[in-house]
Chains A and B, each alone.
Chain A
Amino acid sequence: MADVIEVGAAHRDAPPPAGSKTRGGATNRGSRATPYLFLAPYLVLFGVFGLLPIIFGLWLSVHQWDLQLPNRPFVGLDNYKDLFDSDSAIYGDWWSSVRATGIFTVFSVPLLVAVPLGLALLLNRSFPGRTFFRAVYFAPYVLGVAVIGLLWRFLLDANLGLVNRLLGAVGLPSDTPWVTDVPWAWVSLVGVTVWWTSGFNAVIYLAGLQDISPELYEAARMDGANGWQRFRNVTLPGLRPVMLFVLTTTILASANVFGQSYLITQGAPGQQTRTVVWRIVDEGLRDNDAGRAAAMSIIFALALIVISIVNFRFFRFRED
């Protein structure tokens, strides 16, 4: 028995693995490979569809890369430099798209974290028709971006749309340029996105809420905690892992916004609501410059990774 102690208690009664016949304390060698074998299918998929494209993207980003042109010269860091050089043709478009994405993310994320939480708290109570309301609030999420984009573009149209007409009917200004001028365009884009995607985050919160043990609420109630205190001291701590997930995925999703502005504001006014992903798509697929598009993607991805790390740190700090 002495030679298997290091393997751990779980293996104590198991027969030695086939590969362990070799001499001198090598019993655990086979089992070391086991986790990697289990990981293998995923590693292969990740390698082919994750890692390789990333490496290939890095390769693209240091070339002037057009799929069809015979020459794809190595340009070093020029594609990156162009993004930071105010004299280059793409500088203005790039930074205005970064600004647009930043504005959208800063305004949409707090709402997309808070509104679904409120919604989930309400839908978690028991009242008649609860299932119906759960379905109602989740429903917009199942629609594609093309559907909601066109729907809202017509509803929000400054001169023909229903929204302005309703506002006018109750005596409010009826000529708000919801889709052609800032800041209204941002109000529209953020508002539509909250309406469209809140249901998803709410469902995640709901699942999280149902995981919080009812005994905790009961104990808090016995200690004389009121509703707000129960929310602060039981619900919020219980939801912390869920919130980390919601916050991180929402930041990433908001930073990747494309369809809403493409369809609803069409980038107007000028290019002020053109987002980073839209810019990258145009650069790579319309203007056939995969090198620049790759450089943009990599800078963008690095920024999102940094934000996600800060995010995780922040939550860990609070846990301490």
Chain B
Amino acid sequence: MIQNEMSRRRLLGLGVGLGAAASLTLAGCGGGSATKSGGTASGNGGKDYTGPKVSLNLWNGFTGGDGDIFKKLVEQFNSEHQNIAVAVNTYRWEDYYSKLPGAVSSGSGPDIAVMHMDQLATFAARGVITELDDVAKALELSEGDFAPTVWKGGIYNNKRYGIPLDMHPLGFYYNKAVMQKAGLDPNKPPTDKDEFTAALTELKKSGVQGFWISPFQFTGGMTFYSLLHQWGGTLFDADVAKATFNSDPAVEACTWLVDLIKQGHSPANVGQDADYLALKSGKNAFNFNGIWQINDIAKDPNAQIGVAEVPQIGSQKAVWANSHNFTIVKQRSADNNKVSGAKVFINWLSEHSLDWAKGGQVPARKQVRESAEFKGIKDVSTLAPELEYAAFPPAAPGLGEVLTTFYTSFNEAALGKKSPKQALDDGVAKANKQLEDNRKKYGS
């Protein structure tokens, strides 16, 4: 499944049209001759724009509360720039990613597109988006302005394709009322393995299964992704040529999670979102979930949910994360004015990412992250330090299906269909075939 971040939004948006299948054949009619090099090095890379008035189309997938904040920011930009008019179209991420290639090849695509970091390589390899090295250069943006992992994530084949806007890691949510009932200090959530397991034991004594392991990508799969890195493992080797998620550390991390089910700290067969709903209703105490849930818990202060960094269970700190990036979409006939306008917009919004943080995302820009205003946005700023050790998905084209294989392996292990070792071995065997197919296809 294509990465998408909001499980809450997924609930609203899961009605994937059955007609999508029908568009399979029709989508092919577009011809698809996107220009090979769409207007690079035009303008001054986004400092300002003085040409004739341009109108730009921007596509994104911000369907939740962040969508309103994004639209307000765009309105502000439009009022400050008389010669640039940005129009926003919002789709659900799943629809968005399948719609974009067809729209681009038929000449009706957007000018600017917001994209998850792990999609950049795929869309770059497929010639949908254009290089942005000159924007970074002209804006004097460098690795130092961002967290290194976020900054490097926008690079594919030594060229930059995305300007990072934010990052969204997994966070640690804990139910204070439940902790208190079990005799735990609700203001001291566990931070390492010993504290974590000790807390689970206390909770069990008071009759609470403290940490529900969801077998699905949201959020058990992402929890396993984090722990695998905490144990020192990786999903793939450095060149993303071979899958490595059946290494000893990976098997250990997976076994640790599955054992929590066996030991009764989690029920078996946890359904999608059941782990999070149980947290909010006081049926469990701990949940690793996306930063996007901060807005959701804020709606219900009575639930008494706290937010902290994900505890260090393994030998090092690590946490799953992804990032929204701005990209400029290739056009059939490049219009340099539009490209310049788009760069101005990207620069402007990147500088205004403090406002964006209010939507529940950690800004990618260091200077914004370190500002006093950002630190005032409680909970969101609590998770900002995770940026330093966040494990972002690697930049390789066609990775979506391989990640699905990874999450499916975990699903089989968590549901007790296979042993952790067996499930991960099987997954790696399949993932390696998929990676080989991708190499043939994208020639990387």
Complex: how many Å from CA A319 to CA B415? 50
Complex: how many Å from CA A181 to CA B102? 37
For A150, the chain B residues whose CB sits under 8 A away are 11, 14
Comparing A4-12, A190-198, A283-291, the segment that makes contact with chain B is A283-291
Residue B171 at the chain A interface, CB threshold 8 Å: no
Residue A153 at the chain B interface, CB threshold 8 Å: yes
Q: Are B102 and A177 in contact (CB under 8 A)?
A: no
Residue B45 at the chain A interface, CB threshold 8 Å: no
For B104, B400, B441, the residue with the greatest tally of chain A CB atoms inside 10 Å of its CB is B441
Binary interface profile of A, 252-290, with partner B (CB < 8 Å = 1, else 0)?
000010110011001111110000010011101111111
- B window 1-47: CB within 8 A of A: 1-2, 11, 14-16, 18, 20-21, 23-30, 32, 34, 36
**How many residues in B have their beta carbons less than 8 Å from beta carbons of A?**
60
Q: Which residue of A lies closest to B401 (CB)?
A: A287
Complex: how many Å from CA A280 to CA B36? 29
Q: Which residue of B lies closest to A54 (CB)?
A: B25
Smallest Cβ distance from A265 to chain B, in angstroms? 9
Among the listed A69, A145, A146, A175, which residue makes an inter-chain contact with B126, where contact means beta carbons less than 8 Å apart? A69
Q: Are B25 and A89 in contact (CB under 8 A)?
A: no
Among the listed A66, A92, A147, A286, which residue makes an inter-chain contact with B2, where contact means beta carbons less than 8 Å apart? A286
Binary interface profile of A, 128-158, with partner B (CB < 8 Å = 1, else 0)?
0000000000000000111101100100111
Comparing B161-169, B188-196, B265-273, B380-388, the segment that makes contact with chain A is B265-273
Q: Are A89 and B433 in contact (CB under 8 A)?
A: yes
Complex: how many Å from CA A284 to CA B101? 12
Q: Are B415 and A269 in contact (CB under 8 A)?
A: yes
Q: Are B401 and A286 in contact (CB under 8 A)?
A: yes
Q: Are B28 and A60 in contact (CB under 8 A)?
A: yes
Given the interface pairs A67-B30, A286-B400, A294-B24, the reply to whether A145 lies near B272 with Cβ below 8 Å is no
Residue A213 at the chain B interface, CB threshold 8 Å: no
Residue B83 at the chain A interface, CB threshold 8 Å: no
Residue A65 at the chain B interface, CB threshold 8 Å: yes
Residue A293 at the chain B interface, CB threshold 8 Å: yes
For B15, the chain A residues whose CB sits under 8 A away are 144-147, 149, 259
Q: Are B27 and A159 in contact (CB under 8 A)?
A: no
Smallest Cβ distance from A253 to chain B, in angstroms? 11
**How many residues in A have their beta carbons less than 8 Å from beta carbons of B?**
58
- B window 293-313: CB within 8 A of A: none
Residue A70 at the chain B interface, CB threshold 8 Å: yes
Binary interface profile of A, 52-93, with partner B (CB < 8 Å = 1, else 0)?
010011001000111111100000000000000001110010
For A290, the chain B residues whose CB sits under 8 A away are 24, 27-28
Given the interface pairs A266-B272, A269-B411, the reply to whether A282 lies near B401 with Cβ below 8 Å is yes
Given the interface pairs A159-B267, A269-B415, the reply to whether A297 lies near B24 with Cβ below 8 Å is yes
Among the listed B24, B29, B267, B408, which residue makes an inter-chain contact with A285, where contact means beta carbons less than 8 Å apart? B24
Smallest Cβ distance from A23 to chain B, in angstroms? 48
For B215, the chain A residues whose CB sits under 8 A away are 180, 268-269
Among the listed A68, A89, A282, which residue makes an inter-chain contact with B128, where contact means beta carbons less than 8 Å apart? A68
Residue A160 at the chain B interface, CB threshold 8 Å: yes
Residue A246 at the chain B interface, CB threshold 8 Å: no
Smallest Cβ distance from A80 to chain B, in angstroms? 16
For B434, the chain A residues whose CB sits under 8 A away are 89
Given the interface pairs A160-B283, A286-B401, A287-B401, the reply to whether A68 lies near B270 with Cβ below 8 Å is no
Residue B430 at the chain A interface, CB threshold 8 Å: yes
Residue A109 at the chain B interface, CB threshold 8 Å: no
Binary interface profile of B, 259-280, with partner A (CB < 8 Å = 1, else 0)?
0000000011111101001100
For B363, the chain A residues whose CB sits under 8 A away are none
Binary interface profile of B, 294-336, with partner A (CB < 8 Å = 1, else 0)?
0000000000000000000000000000000000000000000
Complex: how many Å from CA A230 to CA B417? 51
Q: Are B28 and A89 in contact (CB under 8 A)?
A: no
For A67, the chain B residues whose CB sits under 8 A away are 27-28, 30, 32, 101-102, 105, 126
Residues of B in contact with A (beta carbons under 8 Å apart): 1-2, 11, 14-16, 18, 20-21, 23-30, 32, 34, 36, 97-98, 101-102, 104-105, 122, 125-128, 212, 215-216, 267-272, 274, 277-278, 283, 398, 400-401, 404, 408, 411-412, 415, 417, 430, 433-434, 436-437, 441-442
Q: Can you list 10 A-B contacts with CB-CB less than 8 angstroms, sorted by A residue number?
A: A89-B430, A145-B15, A146-B14, A159-B270, A262-B16, A269-B215, A269-B411, A269-B417, A271-B408, A284-B24
Instruction: Enumerate the 3 nearest inter-chain pairs by beta-carbon distance, A residue then B residue, closest first.
Output: A146-B15, A89-B433, A68-B126
